[in-house]
Amino acid sequence: MRWINCHARDLARSNIAVEDRVAERLADAATQANMTLYGFSNVCLEALLKIFHDGGDAEEIYPFWLQTKMSKEIDGMPLLNRGIMDSMVRVFYPKDSEALLKIFFDAGVLFGSYLRMRYKSLDEVWTLIRLFKLSLPARVFEMDRLEEESGNERRYVMRYVSGISDETTNCMAKYFDGLFSCYTTDRRSASSSGGVIEIVLRSPVDDDLISKH
């Protein structure tokens, strides 16, 4: 355990106890930011307090930041609400559903290619989705890693439930199909009304990956 100095309301400074590993990472980050440990600690605590003041939670910080970072890197538009996309899909789906489904599939491939550069395996995507459950606007967004059925294969099941229209559900199913096509050719998807999508994925098991988990 170590102590760091921070401003307190009634005292010039106050000591706060933190774990050794946290203190070491904090000191390294302060050095990278070209700040003193004292100044950097206060900046971090002030940012966290703003989030708490607005009803946020410490566990939300990293997934929301990571989602925003990814969105910027692929030219995403996070401030547009889901209803806009749903309305547009319902307008154009009856006119040319095949073309619209291809657009969503290609968009999934684009994001899947981006993910593949940073998260090499489905096991890493499984970890990422567990993190993103806190930040994505869906009633259910989860991915289960099931017991392998053979010595060289692992099975995953991704579920997405958002309450969107049937047309957008079909399009989102194509989007996820395109995304996961960057990881495996063995995938089976099913969707139903109300934005319910389930995709079963099979992937070869990496021996090094097994040893880590």
What is the per-residue pLDDT across 27-59, written as a single tens digit (0 to 9) for each?
899 999 999 888 888 888 888 888 888 888 888
pLDDT band with cut points at 50, 70 and 90 for residue 17: confident
Q: Residues 87-119: pLDDT tens digits?
A: 999 999 999 999 999 999 999 999 999 999 999
Rg (alpha carbons) of the chain, rounded to whole number: 22
Tell me the CATH number for domain 61-212.
Answer: 3.90.1520
Backbone dihedral region for residue 75 (phi beyond 0: left; psi -120 to 50: alpha; all else: beta): left
User: CA 126, 69, 84 angle in degrees (round to 5)?
Assistant: 90
pLDDT band with cut points at 50, 70 and 90 for residue 207: very low
Q: What is the pLDDT of residue 163?
A: 83
Q: What is the pLDDT of residue 168?
A: 92
Q: What residue segments make up the domains of the chain, in order of their start?
A: 2-55, 61-212
Structural element, H or E, at residue 91? helix 82-92
How far lies 26's CA from each of 5, 38, 46, 47, 48, in Å?
Answer: 12, 10, 15, 15, 15
Q: Is the pLDDT of residue 71 over 60?
A: yes
The dihedral over CA atoms of 64, 176, 119, 110, expressed in degrees to the nearest 10, equals -90
Q: Is the pLDDT of residue 19 over 80?
A: yes
* 59 strand-pairing partners: none
Q: Is the pLDDT of residue 202 over 90?
A: no
- Mean pLDDT value across residues 173-183: 94
Stronger pLDDT, 155 or 77, i.e. the higher one: 155
Structural element, H or E, at residue 101? helix 97-118
